[in-house]
Structure 1
Amino acid sequence: MSAILSADDLNDFISPGVACIKPIETLPAQKPEDNLNAYEVTTEDKVAASEPPPPAQISLTDCLACSGCVTSAEAVLVSLQSHSEVLSTLDAHPPLQLPYTVNRGTNGMNGYYKGEGKLFVASVSPQTRASLAAVFAVSEEDAGNMITQLLSGPAGLKAGGTHGSDFTWVVDTNVLREVCLVAAADEVATALAPEALETTYPPGSDGAIDTIPRKPILTSACPGWICYAEKTHPYVLPHLSRLKSPQALTGTLIKSVLSSRYHISPSQIWHVAIMPCFDKKLEASRSELTSTAWLPDHDSSQNPVRDVDCVITARELLHLAAARNISFSSLPRTPLSSSERTPFPDPKLDAFLFSPIRQKPHDAVEGSSGGYLYHILQTYQSQNPGSSISVNRGRNADVVEYSLVRGSDTIVKMARFYGFRNIQNLVRRLKPARISRIPGAKTGGSRRPGGNGAAAGESVKDYAYVEVMACPGGCTNGGGQVKVTEVESVRAVEGVHAVNGDVVSSRPGPKEQKEWLARVDEAYFSGSDTESTDGDGDQSMKDAGETTDEMHRNADIVNGISRTHIQAILSHWAEATGVEKQKLLYTSYRKVESDVGKKKQSDVERVAGLASTLGGGW
């Protein structure tokens, strides 16, 4: 979904031509009539509901119960998370006054202090910053400061609105990305251990949080890919990484720590994530990513609280500013002063989340989707002195195979598959061979096309890890990013003219979009110390032979990230909240089966009622 979605563009009901079971299931129950004659012969017209059914309310859970309607139902869900929701929530609730201490007393459910107001927190992805940096010709760091000034600064959202509400903290998801990278490397090492390879799990446990993923392990940070896998290829569930994405992990940390430290309900903490793609809205709505997964004393009678309440994109962030008559391009490019910043209630986590020392810049070799594969490969490299990395390009730039070799020995193989066209080839290779029912027949799948490595997919099952992302080119090309077709209009609204000789065509096409994506990537990788790129714009990986010995001497630090430090932060987080690490770090996935076309009890009455109320018939 690449367009900005609005609730105004959507109908209140799904038309009969769309195979969606939700409107049928929401028909109101028939009220018994006082003069009902049990022997009276009725007609189809009388079977219909006496009152029009309410508009279909479609949530992600409903959508995942039906594989006949992906985009339309999800479009309804996505539209509910928008810049308008952010503004209406800010206007509906005053900010929770800080400092806020537990000695104020309690008088609510589960012993929580039940006061007025909400605590507003935002998290921002580096891809979003890169998109806005390209639009306004600033660095990613400057774009991040502008976003913070909008959300928390004196000239931002707090200058208007009903209560002057703003966001107390703006968290960089890059920080939690480092936690994800270390955890991903540990997960791969655990999954490839001999005892793990021999472990069997009972039927129906595929994708469970307490199971170890199977080789090849597939990334789970892309919600578009996860939704596709759960609904169409459930046989890949055993291979999915159980690790939460940086967005989800940020939400869990924010709500678990603030709820514990301030002794308030998670529902009093409102978290918005600013992400590069609309599918992140789907991720935020997953039932697995709520307070029920980690809250120790969760009351089953209470509704679960999302770890991420709302997701908006780069383009929607500009809508947010425009709705408050704030010129985004005019916002200060400097960070908030110390007097304007509220310390996080946990000093150790405050230092971790908001360290004045910038995080290590993204390296072009990592890719634009977080660098999972790169970090895991570097972790293996640090443990194998004298090894080097070889790169084998596939049929296109979005399919690449990486091998860690030492002499003639291959230590580990990994691959990158971006874009649904390539993902379809990947899952096809993972499909179990169909067992023939004919006695004596050979067991096996279909014939595979010829070729080598990732280009043909012959060795997909030999990969230890595969980085899978739905968008071609990675996350900087997410559907919520500012597209080349929108740049002119955005700059016109902001009063910004073409910068640095950048002239956007009045009718941009695929070539211009590719050039624009290169500009976004440049902002994403700004400040990194990288080597020259090849003709496809993908940097060739350095031969690691020169640096492996040095890396091996300090194997704790991989690509600038200290494993010991990250593990200490995780232990502190678990201790501070009283929640075990597994519930904080990991999640689960499930097979989604369609009910469309399956005969149900009282089908005639229910369908007849739906047809009549929609003005149709048999």
Structure 2
Amino acid sequence: MSAILSADDLNDFISPGVACIKPVETLPASKPSANGDENEISFNTGAPLPSDLPPAQISLTDCLACSGCVTSAEAVLVSLQSHAEVLSELDSGPGLRLSGDGSKIENMDIGGKIYVASVSPQSRASIAATFGVSEREAGYMIQQLLSGPKGLKSRAVYRNGFQWVVDTNVAREACLVLGADEVMTSILTRRGNSNGVENGDAKQQPAKPILTSSCPGWICYAEKTHPHILPHLSRLKSPQALTGTLLKTTLSRKLGISPERIWHVAIMPCFDKKLEASREELTDAVWEGTGTRGVRDVDCVITSKELLMLADSRRVDFAKLPRTPLPTRIPFPEPKLNSFLFPPARRQKGNGKQEAGSSGGNLHYILQYFASQYEGASVQTTRGRNADVMEYTVTSAAGETLLKAARYYGFRNIQNLVRRLKPAKASRMPGGKPIGSARRPGGKPAGPDYAYVEVMACPGGCTNGGGQIKVDDPVITGLDPSEVKPGPQEQKAWLAQVDEAYFSGEDTVEDAVLDDRHDTVDGISPSYIKDTLAHWAATTGIDLGRLVYTSYREVVSDVGKDAGHTERVIEIAGKIGGGW
């Protein structure tokens, strides 16, 4: 949904027509200026306004506090989270240097930071398709860029690089196991149930059907336009968010430093992940329980395309980077989590089977897990009205329906799903029927009785994210984008290549490797994952609920509700050349 945005074509003006009202609320009073421009808005915090007014500042959180369109929020996020921000951080001063075993910091007194990175498999697939390598080789090239001797630090002021580059697939496996538990709890209880999170954070079990919450574009849409959906959202953090929490909690505890001194960048397939990283619910204030605005678990998100811009800015030829792993790596300071985050080659897994899809396989794992609980159970698949709508049924050996689930990709399909879940409104007419898509007594939603729905904003899934490298990109064509006019078939063929790269990695894990556990489902051992998560919570001294769950809230705007508010916005818009 964000494919049209890039840092190159971003300007600093957001039209009041998209209801970005925060700057209007913060305009200070001042004396009228000679030229009559008494109301001015500036996003340039580095220089004073001509009228000596302090510039109106807008934070990433402020963008989430209005009901403007997603694009307005993304425009600010793209400008603040970019490859330029990564380079600025790396060049801000000498970084912290770890001992050879990673257990302590050797130059604590310099005031620097530790730099860590996480990489999504979809971004690796985009890089792999672009340079004609396997997804795993693309991962090695990214490691070499971020941490290797021929990468960014070879041309950096302080020779800073990223200490660890983590594959978000390890956090994805934790999300899959916890997601299956969430669905099983919903099926067994059929009512609200505590999940152990304190201070009001995600205390209630999601209502049936549970909807995937790992797509930030979909979450923003639900929070701003359809609050009736919020009780259905999975309370689990996304792999990006969970990785950030794991890195910052563990490193801050083991190394004795503030989370602010750990700088985490995530390489993701879409711009909306920048929106997710800015959420107040995903900061140290939540897991520390301070209740104040805290340090983000993910400091910066850059997309697959911006990763190439990062290399180009340092004059690093990405195509020539080694396609092999780094020869040495300082261990993560917690041994058990080190083996979890960086499994040996014999335990490395691919991105799953093609039927699992390219968005993490949430639904596929839940279906496989549920079917494994019933001997002889099988999964049937039915295509919906288009390729991005699929329905699934788990049936017993006797043919009894045990579970219904579905996959909805793309906003066209999401809107249909949202309508079907909207509760009915009572008619104002005496004896009238309920109004709305759901017309059952009591306002219960109509439609199939799904237990779980995998929802993604992008048609085709996450490999088709707006931040992925496109078929008409100069890095592929070698031509100016204005000279290349690919049609739908070319785009479709290119996406097929990215998907092929995504599934190119083969599993090397053996069942006996996972500590001789025999409870594996789709190559993942739930007991191993739960033991690791419990160890993480014990190591950090933080309740597991605070670490893995999050919460959502309705976002309401006051635009136009105050007397004279609309007129004031129109006046400001007219002075700066914008408006409705």
Tell me: CA distance 1:319–1:613, structure 2 relative to 1, closer, same or farther (3 Å).
Answer: same
Partner deviation per Cα, 1:137-181 (whole Å, 9 max, x = no partner)? 100000000000000001111111110100000000001100000
Please, which of 229, 232, 235 is the counterpart of residue 239 of structure 1? Answer: 232
Partner deviation per Cα, 1:217-261 (whole Å, 9 max, x = no partner)? 000000000000000000000000000000000000000000000
Where do 1:167-566 residues align within 5 Å?
Answer: 167-194=162-189, 196-197=190-191, 208-295=201-288, 298=290, 300=292, 303-338=293-328, 341-357=329-345, 358-406=348-396, 407-443=398-434, 445-446=436-437, 459-460=447-448, 462-486=449-473, 488-490=474-476, 492=478, 506-528=484-506, 556-566=519-529
Contact 1:65–1:595 under 8 Å retained in 2: no
CA distance, structure 1, for counterparts of residue 566 and residue 37 of structure 2: 12
Partner deviation per Cα, 1:401-425 (whole Å, 9 max, x = no partner)? 0000122310001000000000000
CA distance, structure 2, for counterparts of residue 333 and residue 489 of structure 1: 18
Q: Indicate whether 1:577 and 2:540 are aligned.
A: yes
CA distance, structure 1, for counterparts of residue 549 and residue 228 of structure 2: 20
CA distance, structure 1, for counterparts of residue 503 and residue 9 of structure 2: 37
CA distance, structure 2, for counterparts of residue 471 and residue 603 of structure 1: 36
Tell me: CA distance 1:147–1:331, structure 2 relative to 1, closer, same or farther (3 Å).
Answer: same
Tell me: CA distance 1:164–1:377, structure 2 relative to 1, closer, same or farther (3 Å).
Answer: same
Amino acid at match of 1:141: R
- Cα deviation for residue 60 of structure 1 reads 3.5
Tell me: CA distance 1:614–1:137, structure 2 relative to 1, closer, same or farther (3 Å).
Answer: closer
Partner of 1:597: 560
CA distance, structure 2, for counterparts of residue 79 and residue 377 of structure 1: 40
Runs (5+) with no aligned partner, structure 1: 34-44, 106-112, 449-456, 494-504, 530-553
Contact 1:7–1:76 under 8 Å retained in 2: no
- Cα deviation for residue 63 of structure 1 reads 2.3
CA distance, structure 2, for counterparts of residue 53 and residue 18 of structure 1: 24
Greater Rg over alpha carbons, structure: 1
CA distance, structure 1, for counterparts of residue 531 and residue 222 of structure 2: 34
Partner of 1:42: none
Amino acid at match of 2:215: C
CA distance, structure 1, for counterparts of residue 235 and residue 175 of structure 2: 11
CA distance, structure 2, for counterparts of residue 325 and residue 104 of structure 1: 31
Tell me: CA distance 1:475–1:611, structure 2 relative to 1, closer, same or farther (3 Å).
Answer: closer
CA distance, structure 2, for counterparts of residue 214 and residue 438 of structure 1: 30
Tell me: CA distance 1:46–1:605, structure 2 relative to 1, closer, same or farther (3 Å).
Answer: farther
| Alignment TM-score, normalising by the size of structure 1 | 0.82
Partner of 1:84: 84
Partner of 1:71: 71
Contact 2:15–2:573 under 8 Å retained in 1: no
Amino acid at match of 2:461: G
CA distance, structure 2, for counterparts of residue 612 and residue 421 of structure 1: 35
1:14 counterpart SS class: coil
| Alignment TM-score, normalising by the size of structure 2 | 0.87
Contact 1:220–1:226 under 8 Å retained in 2: yes
Contact 2:424–2:438 under 8 Å retained in 1: no
Amino acid at match of 2:414: I
Amino acid at match of 1:294: W
Contact 1:63–1:69 under 8 Å retained in 2: no
CA distance, structure 1, for counterparts of residue 10 and residue 556 of structure 2: 29
CA distance, structure 1, for counterparts of residue 314 and residue 389 of structure 2: 43
1:518 counterpart SS class: helix
Partner deviation per Cα, 1:108-154 (whole Å, 9 max, x = no partner)? xxxxx764211000000000000110011100000000000000001
Amino acid at match of 2:129: A
Amino acid at match of 1:353: L
Contact 1:47–1:605 under 8 Å retained in 2: no
How many positions carry a matched residue from both structures? 542
Partner deviation per Cα, 1:526-557 (whole Å, 9 max, x = no partner)? 1448xxxxxxxxxxxxxxxxxxxxxxxx8721
Question: What is the percent sequence identity of the aligned residues?
Answer: 60
